[in-house]
Structure 1
Amino acid sequence: MPMHRRDGTRTGSRPMNAIAAVPNRLVSAIRRSFRQFLSLPLATVSGFIALSALVYLADGSWSGAEGPPGFRWLGALMGDRAALASLLATVASSIITVTSITFSLLLLAVQQGAGALTAQVTDQFMARRTNQFYFGYFVGLSVFVLTTLVTNTDYHRPVFAAALSLLLTALALCLIIVMIYNTIDQMRPEQIIQFIHDKVLEARSADLRLLAATRRAERPGFVDLALVRSRESGYVVGLDPARIAAALDRHGRGDAEIVVLIALGTYRAVGDPVFRLRVSPSAASRMDARERLAGEGLVGEILAAFVYDDGRDLQNNTAYGLHQLATIAWTSVSTSKSNPNPGLTVIQALRDIIAQWSRGEVEAPGDAGACIVYGDAAPVIATDALEAVIVVASESIQSQTLTEAIATLAILLRHVETPTAERLADVARRALSSLGEHVLTRQLEASLADLAEALTERGFVATAEAVSAATADLAASLGKLNSRSTRVPGPTA
């Protein structure tokens, strides 16, 4: 017989929402595919189909012996049914051949770009609206020409459609040049990183909407009743605060709240914790209230408000965009690629993101009466990404990358809000552990001195002194021949 555990799940039976998770996951995947790529191409193809229907009606005027007045010259120019059939067949085969070859070359360029950086290149390539339009235009044009070819019969002479096919094909050939240039330009690391940077800032609006419907702090006096774990695996990409609030109001009557333990975009395996259920002291003291709140009804409804998917979307997930930036920086800066340029660009992008989000940490929107506690993880993830770049710079001994990261810390410390400044000061303190791998270049020494000064200005005196001491230790190694492992010798006994 199935038994209920304290966390609201059941042992010895299949989770109640396991069957429902399959169609929900399918719907999420379809929505993600349309949001990421399919919407504009399919809309463009649909537009060509609608245009084909309109032109078909207009070509009905050529069913007469002479054709519409004012356009007889066009009919003479395009020729009879046999000439139109030959023209349309040539145009159709040409546009399909050119499209297939061009798209193959473009996908090869994308593959080369992904090999130079990471697979994140593919996401940003598909997300660009211009690329989506190109794919939709060429496929839609092929459908338009083939439809026109089929409608060329003894009683229907598609003169207007054939002429329009020629014009659109000429435009397509011109677009190939633009498309090739755009694709090559989009494969530049600076363009890729800038695009992800822009998408991260745009996706922040989704975070702010969720933050506005939740609280940051737990209610004082409430106690933990249950730790609820995931019943399916995947990325948690959505959360419905209204549905959770309605369930808590219906079952808890103001005596319960949940503390979400993860940020949207986090992967959860079966059994991983998702949220904590907390109740008021009065409800905790009553057995009936505890059983009602920790029962399958409330827990199942709340879990159903978490949306799972097999993939993440750059359009509405700041954590995913920051993960992409950190991955690009790590791959390029490390000895895997040993290319400092993308890493420097990522540091600059992170500096802008952290600066723009800093004020939001002290002015974050929130609903004091909400029954959901949700932390703002995006600013923390941004500073963690910057810290990761500093760590990998020690593995490849890229002094220019470390110099830019240290300079970024100093710049941000002078103007960001206190919560951000505290994390940056901690990053600076932890970064000192990697200095022993580097040579104290003049630029690095100047950046470290600037960082110590910025830390002092913000009141982090102990960390500033640690930075100065570490700089002095590294300076003591100048002029001495040391291997990488002994560049800065440890203290002697």
Structure 2
Amino acid sequence: MKSIQSVPRRFVNAVRRSFRQFLALPLATVLGFVGLNALVYLADRSWSGGQPPTGFAWLGELLGDSAALGSLLTTVASSIITVTSITFSLLLIAVQQGAAALTAQVTDQFMARRTNQFYFGYFVGLSVFVLMTLVTNTGFHRPVFGTTLALLLTTSALCLIIVMIYNTIDQMRPAQIIQFIHGRVLEARAADLDLLARTRRTSRHGWPVVASVCSWESGYVVGIDPTRIGRAVERYAKGAVEIEFDIAVGAYRAVHDPLFRVRCRPGVALEADARASIIDETSAALDYDDGRDLKHDAAYGLHQLATIAWTSVSTSKSNPSPGISVIQALRDVISQWSAGETEAREDASSCVVYRDAAPTVATDALEAVIVVASESIQPQTLAEAITTLAILLRHVGQPTAERLADVSHRALSSLGEHVLTRQLEAALADLSEALLARGFASVSGAVSASTADLAASLGKLNSRSTRVPGTVS
């Protein structure tokens, strides 16, 4: 059950997320049209009393009197609203089809694109502009400039429909979807690095746990404020307490799930009131929400990539192309993040202990693609994943290399499901060399041995379950 105190804050977080993900630009565009209408209304006051402004008498004669303007604006308003409704319906159907082909992640990336947000805002804002201009058309006030501008903007909107339809179709291509999410993952990493720079990675040795705090509500933890936590510790137990988090930003917590631990310096007796105040302030420094934000949560983007790869590679879709694109995107992400794992990016004086989870999530996503490739028996997808492991092992930092070596070893369990194609055999040989060069001799030997066992099945008629009988990797 969610605490009553958290409801207003959760609502505020939901509103902020909706504005970050979609609403900000469309609403700003609509407000821009409203402001433009106000300016044009002031300009149209020069037509009041039947006296046209100097040099524009021809425009008034061309558009006609108030009755003609009203008829024209009514036609334009009904037309633009009808076209907008039909176009948006078709676009949403296209998005729905794309989501059915991949996953619901398609909807997230469609809404997050600034061009799509502008399209929605432009058409809605134009409809509002035309309707407001129509309302101001009276026997005394002739909106000649407003009608002229409405005609020009409507013409632009009709031309923009062609561009919008092309962009939507182009955005539904799996490669474009994956590329967009890949870019957002790299951008969201900045929020992770900012939090890492204000916290520490390891707890102080010998400091006992004086309190283990569980979640008081359910939802995704979308933000941590280490500054607020630091002020609370400074006020109640300066230099004697540290907060060690069990979670990373983006993690889901159910009620009573572990959240963080309070550690106290040996020999210091922390009073009950001070401990309760620190726990309350630390809990208040966490932001809960019912959804995750791709813009500020790199792990969420990685989850989306893994979901797309799993859906497309598995027998649910049996489409290797998106899976290979995801593997390539993950290779770039892991490569760019590897150096940061070994850099000293922390505040040694911070009282908050927070561990970096995103790099591990990235390698776990790559591991998931390898597993699902065995379910659908896609040797080309597995070969691409194995090649990625070999390429990364030759240059990534040691923590990343250790995880990749472990992934390589675990991947051997599913190797017996495959046929040893030439592409797969070359990728496994390259991986064995990369592991050996990096110092993982035992894993390298296991890869070579498994490759030899699978090669022994070539030329023999075996079912999927008996291709490599008795092999234990």
- Same fold by TM (over 0.5)? yes
Distance 1:160 1:133 in 2: 24
Query: Is the aligned partner of 1:256 residue 2:236?
Result: no
Separation in 2, partners of 1:379, 1:344: 20
C-alpha displacement of 1:250: 1.3
User: Structure 1 residue 383 and structure 2 residue 363: aligned?
Assistant: yes
Secondary structure at 2:267 match in 1: helix
Indicate the residue corresponding to 2:349 in structure 1. 369
User: Contact conserved, 2:416 with 2:468, CA < 8 A, in 1?
Assistant: yes
The verdict on how the C-alpha distance between 1:290 and 1:391 changes in structure 2, with shifts beyond 3 A counting, is farther
Q: Secondary structure at the match of 1:236?
A: strand
- The equivalent position to 2:401 in structure 1, one of 379, 398, 421, is 421
Contact 2:229–2:278 at 8 Å: present in 1 too? no
Identity among equivalent pairs (%) = 73
Counterpart of 1:431, as a letter, is: A
**What is the CA–CA distance in structure 2 between the aligned matches of 1:235 and 1:51, rounded to whole Å?**
40
Listed as ranges, the gaps of 5+ residues in structure 1 are 1-13
Please list the CA deviations of residues 445-487 of structure 1 after superposition, one character each: whole Å capped at 9, or x if unmatched.
Answer: 0000000000011000010000000000000111110111101
The runs of at least 4 consecutive aligned structure 1 residues that moved more than 2 Å come to 290-295
What residue ranges of structure 2 are gaps of 5+ in the alignment? none
Aligned to 1:107: 92
Partner letter of residue 406 of structure 2? Answer: D
Q: 1:95 aligns with which of 80, 87, 90?
A: 80
Measure, in 1, the Cα distance between the counterparts of 2:456 and 2:206. 55
Q: CA deviation at 1:491?
A: 5.6
Task: Look up the equivalent residue of 1:215 and give its one-letter code.
Answer: R
- CA distance in 2: counterparts of 1:293 and 1:435, whole angstroms: 56
In 2, are the aligned partners of 1:225 and 1:290 still within 8 Å (CA)? no
Q: Per the alignment, in what secondary structure is the counterpart of residue 48 of structure 1?
A: helix
1:330 aligns with 2:310: yes
Alignment equivalent of 1:433, drawn from 399, 413, 419:
413
AA aligned to 2:339 is: R
Cα distance in 2 for partners of 1:146, 1:245 equals 53
1:20-419 equivalences in 2 (<5 Å): 20-283=5-268, 286=269, 289-295=270-276, 297-419=277-399
- Give the partner amino acid of 2:298: T
TM-score (norm 1): 0.95
Distance 1:364 1:333, change over 3 A: farther
CA-to-partner distance for each residue in 1:28-86, whole Å, 9 max, x for gaps?
Answer: 00000000000000000000000000000000000133300111111111111111011
Q: Matches of 1:442 and 1:290 in 2, distance apart?
A: 68
SS of the residue aligned with 2:235? helix
CA RMSD of aligned residues (A): 1.1
**1:231-265 deviation line (CA, Å, top 9, x unaligned):** 00000000011100111111222110011111100
- 1:350-386: per-residue Cα shift (whole Å, max 9, x none)? 0000000000000151100000010011000000000
Letter in 1 for 2:191: A
8 Å contact kept, 1:211–1:364:
no
What amino acid does structure 2 have at the position aligned with 1:482?
A: N
Cα distance in 2 for residues equivalent to 1:113 and 1:364: 42
AA paired with 1:255?
A
Q: Measure the CA separation in 1 of the matches of 2:356 and 2:273.
A: 30
**C-alpha distance in structure 2 between counterparts of 1:128 and 1:228, whole Å:** 39
Query: Which whole-Å CA distance do the structure 2 matches of 1:251 and 1:65 have between them?
Result: 75
- Return the alpha-carbon distance in structure 2 between the equivalents of residues 391 and 342 of structure 1: 16
Whole-Å separation in 1 of the counterparts to 2:291 and 2:238: 36
Instruction: Say whether the 8 Å CA contact 2:185–2:302 is kept in structure 1.
Output: yes
Q: Secondary structure of 2:242's partner?
A: strand
Amino acid across the alignment from 1:22: V
Q: Note if contact 1:407-1:447 (Cα within 8 Å) is conserved in structure 2.
A: yes
**Contact 1:203-1:315 within 8 A present in 2 as well:** yes
Residue 80 to residue 353, structure 1, CA distance change in 2 (3 Å): same
SS of equivalent to 1:19: coil
d(CA) in 2 for partners of 1:459, 1:491: 25
In the alignment, the residues of structure 2 paired with residue 86 and residue 69 of structure 1 have an alpha-carbon distance, to the nearest angstrom, of: 26
Q: Which amino acid aligns with 1:51?
A: L
Distance 1:459 1:299 in 2: 45
Aligned residue pair count:
472
Q: Which moved more, 1:444-453 or 1:211-220?
A: 211-220
Q: Offset at 1:298?
A: 1.8
Task: Write the distance in 1 (CA, Å) between the matches of 2:131 and 2:265.
Answer: 68
| Contact 1:226 1:278 survives alignment (8 Å) | yes
Q: 1:472 aligns to what?
A: 452
Equivalent residue letter for 1:323: H
Q: Distance in 1 between matches of 2:425 and 2:168?
A: 40
State the alpha-carbon separation in 1 of the partners of residues 98 and 173 from structure 2.
Answer: 8
